[in-house]
Structure 1
Amino acid sequence: MDKNELRREWEQRIADYRASGLTRAKWCQQNGFKDHQLKYWIKRIEGSTVPSKPSTTWTSVVMVDPSSDNESSIQVKIGECSIEVKQGFNPSLFADVVKVLKFLC
């Protein structure tokens, strides 16, 4: 078997593995391969196209002085978006909104 045939064979195996929905270890166990073999060929064939862990990014937050309002609140700006948070807000909901705004703005 030449190098091109071997590569095509492993490309097909990788496609089968991806389509299976199984973990790498489980797929290898069911198909008679060692986990390190599949890992090696994925890295060799896909190289830098293998998804990496997302990196953490920081977003600046600007707080506006709420003393001009009768009701206590703060305004949070994320990029070009802003939200007003009033006293008694739901912290969990606020965290979810900030996550969404980081991707949209």
Structure 2
Amino acid sequence: MTKMELQSLRQIWETRIADFLASGQSGAAWCAANDLKVHQLWYWLRKFSSHHPAKTTPATSTTSHDWVSFEWDKSPSEIPSPSVLLVRVGQAVIEVTPGFNPALLNDVVRALSV
């Protein structure tokens, strides 16, 4: 494939991917409606995401982060510190209190992780 043909194919798929992302359809539904193979769509999505991640990531992606600002009217010394730390290892939950034995916690976590 010549460089010009590859560039043309890339432009075609950039347009197709923009149409797919704007459609809100699943990949399978969009490909069926546009007479394309699903694996081609995923190939080009991966190819473009490595070069232009912002162009191929939909606004509703689970990887996007929405930050909320707020004002806290208390000084750091007024914020209560938690008296118990919960450590989850699989389905087990360990309550760690101030003055805990770090070696014992390490042994318990290792035993639960096996």
Q: Sort the TM-score into its range (normalised by shorter chain).
A: 0.3 to 0.5
Q: TM-score, normalised by structure 1?
A: 0.47
Q: TM-score, normalised by structure 2?
A: 0.44
Q: Flag the structure with higher strand content.
A: 1
